[in-house]
Structure 1
Amino acid sequence: MINVIKIIVADIKRLSVNVVAMVVIIGLTVIPCLYAWFNILSNWDPYGPDATKNLQVAVASSDQGIVIGNYELNVGEIIISNLKENTTIGWVFTDTAQEAISGVYSGKYYAALVIDEEFSADMISFLGGEIENPVITYYENDKKNAIAPKITGKVKTAIEREVDHAFVGTMAEVLLNASEYFATLNEQGNITGQGIEKLEQLDSDLNGLIAILDSYIALSDAADSITEAGQAVADSAGSITSLAGQMAENAQNTGATAQADIQKLKDEIDKKVGDINSKFSNVDASIATINNALNGISFGNIDTSQLQSEINSIQKAWKDEEGKGLYQMLVDAKDFIPGADAQQIYLATVAQIDGEVSNLTTDLNNLVSASAKTEAEFNEAKEKLTKDVATVLADTKTVRDDYLNKISPLEQTAINSASSTITELEKLLNYNAQSIDLVIDNLENYADLINQSKETLVKSRDEAVEMEQQLANLIADIKGVSDNEAYQKFMTLVQSDPELLSDFISSPVDISDEYIYPVANNGSMTAPFYIVLSIWVGALIMSTILKTSVKDTSGMENVKNWQCFVGRFFTTFVIGQIQTIITVLGAFLFVGIQCQHYFLFWLACAWTSFVYSLLLYSFAYSFGNIGEALSVILMVIQVAGAGGTFPIEVLPKVFQVLYKFMPFNYSMNAVRECIGGFYENTYQRCMLTLIVYVVIAVFIGVVLYHPFKILNEKIEHSKEKSGILL
């Protein structure tokens, strides 16, 4: 052991008196840390919105749009509008598709998306029975950068999501708006209940028409009876047409009357709203007077006459002796608020105000009583009255806002719904009247009927039967749906906000992110790889620059190989630890990486530095230049296949096999535990596994030194003869 100490002391003396050597040592301690810091900073957050928004991707829409009924749909414009709010990519919206494509070819844009001219039409092509897939052409410049296409590749997913959301949301909103037709209510129930009676009458008349046609067919051979039967049929059909027309006219008259009644009701409610606002204004004025009066009184100087007068005024406006006033008006208005829960909240607020108004008299009496006691009790009673007055003012404002914002808008909605219902019923009745007119046209010419064959009459009769069956099925379906519990729930659903429902249908699932061992940024994620790599690089440089063999053994007796190995390694070890502490402190203080266990982080790095320094030192000590080359090869293999940048599962099979033998694997996992958080004994297991490489290093340096000594001497001799190699 004495010889080991002598070698260490001799190395320290030689370094301390040699300026050039000290400069080299300082350089050795700084270079690895710079390598780690700058690599971590360059990878700090390349996939975050602040970085990716600088990648320009062109978007152009050639979509011509389409009209569905009265609804104009242009999915291309919807996509453009949504992407303008998306800040994850630097979207550039060009005027033409050619401009976007040319920008990709020139390298101005990393990628481009071009929406086809028939995009909207193809989106709804399924309605026509011939499905055409809508097309968005994605252009990508792979030559410009290796990683950028992977980032901009997220564009395709974003666009697909926007298209799905726009299409499903728009279709759902249109369908839900249309469904309001079935949910429109009036005095007779919904539109289905209003029309069933008329439809049943029409069905009865059609059955009568069919019976007449049956009779007419039976008498078709009797020429004398044909004219009379034809006239009967025409008269019956005419009565049906007249009935249908009358039904349509009645629907118009009833609709006009219903609209007038609803408008009259709205005018009355608007007047009630005005009355309530007037009463609320009086209450506000009284509260303001009470506040002014309260500000003017003090202990020993109290006049409550004005306070009593204004409180009486508020209580009378709120509820008179018969229980009427603002209170009853607000209670009566609860039926206009949609939803049982909302009504309960509203009534609770009104009841709360009722109690607060009653408390004002109690507060005033307490104030008068306190004026005859201490000043502290008087101030407390005054503060209580002031606070309750402010509470009344705040709560009455809440009720007034609810009244204006929730009740009045519902009145106009009811008018619009009734108008829509009447219009749809009128269309239904006019349609059936026109259908029956076609039957009349076939019956009015008696001479032609006489000439028709019996087969033609049977065909006409069958068509009438089919029409009656369809009408009967329609009536049965409407009755069945109206009485169905699911229908009632559906009516409640479609009467709510169609836009809100369409948003839910287009995006029904909300992904809840639950991050396990969260890491703040990509720089902290890559820090284990670059710090471990910098430690290896530092050890590699030392094994290349520092001499490993001990030439001067003067003053030493019986020097053994293991003593030289351990003694000379001390310098490498110290420099490696200095490299490590500088790298770790810089990562914390300068770069600012995430870390949950600072001391254990440093301990993992220090232990890694010891293992790597010893391993690479042993390579150079026993194998010479071959060992240095082996150190480089091991570094290259680990950089490519240790899972530092890409998951090991996506790498070629050879790296997956070598992965468990790489020291980088265990060092990085130990450091990752300190950054993201511990899992069971992963940290300890990684640290202990590195001992295997310590054993390998000692075996190489102590046991294999002599077998390779002759080979190393021959290699050194050949290098010197070359005159070029060091």
Structure 2
Amino acid sequence: MKNIIKIIKKDFKNIITNWIALGIVLGLIAIPSLYSLVNIFASWDPYSSTSGIKVAVVNEDKGTTFRDKDINLGNELVDKLKDNDKIGWEFVDKETADNGLLMEEYYASIIIPEDFSEKTTTLVEKNVEKPKLIYTANEKKNPIAPKFTDSAVKTVKSQLDENITKTITGIIFRMCDEVGIDIEDNRTELRRIMDATYELDENMPKLGKLLDSTVNGTISATELMTEIQKILPFVEDVSDAGESFIDDNLSELDDIQSELDELSPDIKEKLVSAEEKLDSLNVTLGNLDDNILPETAKKTLLTVSDTVDAMQITTQGVRDQLKKLSRVLNKISKVDIPKIEIGNDVEIDDNLKDLLNQYNKQVEALESIQKNLKEMSKIVTMINNRLDTIDDKLTTISERVKDKINDLDNGEKLDIQFLTDIKALVNDVHGLVADIIDDYSTDIVKDINSEIDLIRNIGDNGLTLIGQGKAILPEIDNLLNTFMDISNRTHDQLVELQNDFPDLQDKVHKLAAKIKEFDDKEDIDEVLELITNDWQTQSDFMANPVEIEDNRLFPWPNYGSTATPFYTVLCLWIGGYMLSMLLGTEVHAHEGEEEYKHHEVYFGRMALFVVIGVFQAIVASLGALYILKVYAVHPAMLVFYSVFISVVFMTIIYTAVSLFGHGGIVIGIVLLVIQVAASSANFPIEVNPRMFQIISPFLPFTYAINGMRQVMAGVVYSILFKDIAILSIYMLASVIMGVTCKKASNRLIKPFVDKLKESKLVI
């Protein structure tokens, strides 16, 4: 111990009394910090200076005319880019752009083709052609710049997509709203028709009694005609009421359905995008095996779990909508539409026969529509069954993944059977989604149209029931006219008319009952609630249906602060390496003194290395805090942790050089190169090659950088203590190796050192 203290005192005395040595030591303290501070400052906030990245924009769009309106989306895009200062947009012709890109004046170019606007308007045609932006990046000029330009171009595309979607859906929802307003405006007329039908139904028994009395001769024909004349106004009122209302509104609904059919290709594209995400999930699971690190496996499984949970929420929303649609379809399809049949032995005029035939044809058409509704209901049920199956499988995946995450937290490893089962379930879900895409044109499109069919068919069944009154009431009108001529008929004809009257009365009563049922259930209100909404709000939602709530845990205010852990740790290792190059690790006693023992030399000279390393850490950390103003939640902890890291690194490097001489210096360089690549300093370790993922947990840099991030961005003490413990193990292992192996190691390498000195190339 005495000799160790003696060596320490002698080293510091030599430094203090020799100004050249003192200057070298001060330089060794300052230079590593200079390296870290310069690099941190250079990378302080690169994302705020992207306006200097020049991108050429060429607008060749000739525009087009759409429904008597001139459209030029290329000019609109150029106007948007002029207001966008995130990138240095340069608006030039094609020749200038191509030449500038080749000669590295521009990082990228965007060309808007001459048919850009024209292809956009094909959305309302059968053959849809997507417009294209031609984007070219010069990756040779700089490997990182294309990442900025790629992001900018994707943002531009997203804005264009949003504007197109908002415009088209705005038209559709506006038309729905106009139809709803039209129905609302005609409520008074609808009510008048319904009330007239109810009153006619109430008067039918009285009319029957009058007929009976006439047949029996109890009242005169004149009295009968007088009573009939009182009923005729109701008949005429019902007959003249609803014709224009039905025809106008059904044509509007047909237009809406046509617009939705034109929008359906965009829906199919989104389904294909969902399938691609499942493909990506398959690739993610394919990267897992039973040899992967638990930390990596857990992060991957958490990503899988979040994706599955989000898919379940989406699936539930679709299922609820389909169930509601199915209920409405079933309710409409069960409406009983009566026919009117008059016996062949009843003599009626040709006009009445034509009216009866017209009415019965209308009933047959309505029954055909109801049959289609039943088929649509079956399709909705089939799709819902598929969604139920998908939801069950997603639930199974979610539960098994979460159980496996708990197993990993308890120290267990992944097993092949688990991965096989999860991949099989994901493939099953993928297959079900693919089936829906395959059946898109025949099933899914029908489901989209069925929402409009819901509106139209409720309108058909509700308003046409009133139309039935219009079809039957003229018959009653003619029947009353027949009664007006009753005095000219024979008694036998009156008897035939009397026999047919109960059937006619029953049909009128059924019609009134159906209208009453429709009226009581307030189906009209349901239709109006569905289609009369704020169409602008709805189109905004379709253009941008999802908002992201951005929450950041342990946020960094700037990129320079995020780079500080890596560059500070790196400079401390470089500082130790520089010391090993310039300061010797061997100490010899003066002539006449007893030679120092190996462990005394080891500890005595190591003290000098450690003290200089401590000052290197203090200068580097304080410089980052007070010169660059880096962000740190715990500034004092940053300084102390930097000192701790420096002591660990200095111990490792000093031990290597003390044991192996120049070979130890080479070891320090090799470790530096490997650690820079495998310590997840700039990129997540999961994106590095497999070899680096394997060795990362065994490198000091990994725990030094991670601990530095803890004290700067926010401490999770269990993680920080783990990092400190592992670094302490490295330091302790180095000391044990230095004490126990120095004597043997120095003896083994001495011949090599002597031979190397003979070359007079190395000191």
TM-score by length of 1: 0.58
Letter in structure 1 aligned against 2:547: D
Query: Which residues in structure 2 correspond to 1:601-612 (within 5 Å)?
Result: 601-612=638-649
Question: 1:161 offset after TM fit, Å?
Answer: 0.8
Distance 1:708 1:597 in 2: 42
Distance 1:502 1:153 in 2: 28
Alignment partner of 1:681: what SS? helix
Query: Which residues in structure 2 correspond to 1:120-139 (within 5 Å)?
Result: 120-139=117-136
Alignment partner of 1:21: what SS? helix
Query: Which residues in structure 2 correspond to 1:411-490 (within 5 Å)?
Result: 478-479=459-460, 483-490=523-530
Distance 1:714 1:575 in 2: 31
Distance 2:762 2:36 in 1: 30
Q: How many residues align?
A: 463
Q: 8 Å contact 1:75–1:167 — kept in the other structure?
A: no
Question: 1:105 offset after TM fit, Å?
Answer: 1.8
Residue in 1 that maps onto 2:143? 146
Letter in structure 1 aligned against 2:527: Y
Distance 2:128 2:183 in 1: 41
Question: 1:90 offset after TM fit, Å?
Answer: 2.2
Question: 1:86 offset after TM fit, Å?
Answer: 3.0
Question: 1:583 offset after TM fit, Å?
Answer: 0.7
Letter in structure 1 aligned against 2:629: G
Residue in 2 that maps onto 1:3? 3
Assess, with a 3 A threshold, how the Cα gap between structure 1 residues 481 and 635 changes in structure 2: closer, same or farther. farther
Alignment partner of 2:55: what SS? strand
Decide which of 615, 622, 626 is 2:652's aligned counterpart: 615
Q: 8 Å contact 1:620–1:626 — kept in the other structure?
A: yes
Alignment partner of 1:59: what SS? strand
Q: Taking every aligned residue pair, what percent have the same amino acid on both sides?
A: 30
Query: Which residues in structure 2 correspond to 1:143-542 (within 5 Å)?
Result: 143-179=140-176, 181-184=178-181, 189=186, 478-479=459-460, 483-493=523-533, 496=534, 498-542=535-579
Q: 8 Å contact 1:183–1:190 — kept in the other structure?
A: no
Residue in 1 that maps onto 2:709? 672
Assess, with a 3 A threshold, how the Cα gap between structure 1 residues 106 and 501 changes in structure 2: closer, same or farther. farther
Assess, with a 3 A threshold, how the Cα gap between structure 1 residues 687 and 556 changes in structure 2: closer, same or farther. farther
Question: 1:596 offset after TM fit, Å?
Answer: 0.7
Question: 1:56 offset after TM fit, Å?
Answer: 1.5
Assess, with a 3 A threshold, how the Cα gap between structure 1 residues 675 and 193 changes in structure 2: closer, same or farther. farther
Q: 8 Å contact 1:82–1:162 — kept in the other structure?
A: no
- Post-superposition Cα deviations, 1:7-42, rounded to whole Å, max 9, x if no partner, equal 011111111111111111111011000111011111
Distance 2:614 2:111 in 1: 57
Letter in structure 1 aligned against 2:532: T
Residues 1:91 and 2:89 aligned together: yes
Q: 8 Å contact 1:540–1:631 — kept in the other structure?
A: yes
Q: 8 Å contact 1:618–1:701 — kept in the other structure?
A: yes
Question: 1:654 offset after TM fit, Å?
Answer: 1.3
Residues 1:552 and 2:555 aligned together: no
Q: 8 Å contact 1:111–1:138 — kept in the other structure?
A: yes
Assess, with a 3 A threshold, how the Cα gap between structure 1 residues 155 and 513 changes in structure 2: closer, same or farther. same
Distance 1:71 1:480 in 2: 39
Distance 2:98 2:40 in 1: 35
Q: 8 Å contact 1:78–1:166 — kept in the other structure?
A: no
Distance 1:186 1:17 in 2: 102
Residues 1:21 and 2:10 aligned together: no
Assess, with a 3 A threshold, how the Cα gap between structure 1 residues 680 and 27 changes in structure 2: closer, same or farther. closer
Decide which of 67, 75, 85 is 1:69's aligned counterpart: 67
Aligned alpha-carbon RMSD (Å): 3.5
Question: 1:101 offset after TM fit, Å?
Answer: 3.1
Alignment partner of 1:596: what SS? coil
Residues 1:81 and 2:79 aligned together: yes
TM-score by length of 2: 0.56
Alignment partner of 1:595: what SS? coil
Residue in 2 that maps onto 1:703? 740
Letter in structure 2 aligned against 1:56: K
Assess, with a 3 A threshold, how the Cα gap between structure 1 residues 707 and 527 changes in structure 2: closer, same or farther. same
Residue in 2 that maps onto 1:110? 107
Q: 8 Å contact 2:61–2:116 — kept in the other structure?
A: yes
Alignment partner of 2:588: what SS? coil
- Post-superposition Cα deviations, 1:366-392, rounded to whole Å, max 9, x if no partner, equal xxxxxxxxxxxxxxxxxxxxxxxxxxx
Residue in 2 that maps onto 1:343? none
Residue in 2 that maps onto 1:681? 718
Letter in structure 2 aligned against 1:130: N
Moved more, 589-598 or 72-81: 72-81
Assess, with a 3 A threshold, how the Cα gap between structure 1 residues 150 and 640 changes in structure 2: closer, same or farther. same
Decide which of 599, 611, 627 is 2:636's aligned counterpart: 599
Residue in 2 that maps onto 1:562? 599
Q: 8 Å contact 2:63–2:117 — kept in the other structure?
A: yes
Alignment partner of 2:46: what SS? coil
Larger Rg over CA atoms: 1
Letter in structure 1 aligned against 2:82: K
Question: 1:501 offset after TM fit, Å?
Answer: 4.0
Alignment partner of 1:170: what SS? helix
Residue in 1 that maps onto 2:691? 654
Letter in structure 2 aligned against 1:144: K
Question: 1:177 offset after TM fit, Å?
Answer: 4.0
Question: 1:631 offset after TM fit, Å?
Answer: 0.3
Distance 1:166 1:607 in 2: 56
Alignment partner of 2:106: what SS? coil
Distance 1:481 1:34 in 2: 83
Distance 1:592 1:538 in 2: 22
Residues 1:693 and 2:730 aligned together: yes
Distance 2:151 2:188 in 1: 49
Question: 1:188 offset after TM fit, Å?
Answer: 5.0
Letter in structure 1 aligned against 2:41: L
Q: 8 Å contact 2:46–2:559 — kept in the other structure?
A: yes
Question: 1:111 offset after TM fit, Å?
Answer: 0.9
Q: 8 Å contact 1:619–1:700 — kept in the other structure?
A: no
Question: 1:621 offset after TM fit, Å?
Answer: 0.7
Question: 1:142 offset after TM fit, Å?
Answer: 0.7
Assess, with a 3 A threshold, how the Cα gap between structure 1 residues 576 and 153 changes in structure 2: closer, same or farther. same
Residue in 2 that maps onto 1:31? 31
Residues 1:46 and 2:46 aligned together: yes
Alignment partner of 1:35: what SS? helix
Assess, with a 3 A threshold, how the Cα gap between structure 1 residues 617 and 487 changes in structure 2: closer, same or farther. same
Residue in 1 that maps onto 2:98? 101
Decide which of 116, 121, 138 is 1:119's aligned counterpart: 116
Q: 8 Å contact 1:100–1:112 — kept in the other structure?
A: yes
Residue in 2 that maps onto 1:417? none
Distance 2:732 2:244 in 1: 102
Structure 2 unmatched ranges of 5 or more = 195-239, 249-356, 370-452, 464-522
Distance 1:607 1:247 in 2: 89
Assess, with a 3 A threshold, how the Cα gap between structure 1 residues 37 and 568 changes in structure 2: closer, same or farther. same
Distance 2:576 2:186 in 1: 87
Question: 1:180 offset after TM fit, Å?
Answer: 5.0
Alignment partner of 2:681: what SS? coil
Distance 1:555 1:670 in 2: 49
Question: 1:191 offset after TM fit, Å?
Answer: 12
Q: 8 Å contact 1:79–1:162 — kept in the other structure?
A: no
- Post-superposition Cα deviations, 1:605-635, rounded to whole Å, max 9, x if no partner, equal 1111001111101111110000001101100
Alignment partner of 1:113: what SS? strand
Question: 1:518 offset after TM fit, Å?
Answer: 0.6
Question: 1:500 offset after TM fit, Å?
Answer: 4.7
Moved more, 28-37 or 703-712: 703-712
Question: 1:124 offset after TM fit, Å?
Answer: 4.1
Distance 1:138 1:191 in 2: 59
Letter in structure 2 aligned against 1:165: E
Alignment partner of 1:60: what SS? strand
Question: 1:592 offset after TM fit, Å?
Answer: 0.8
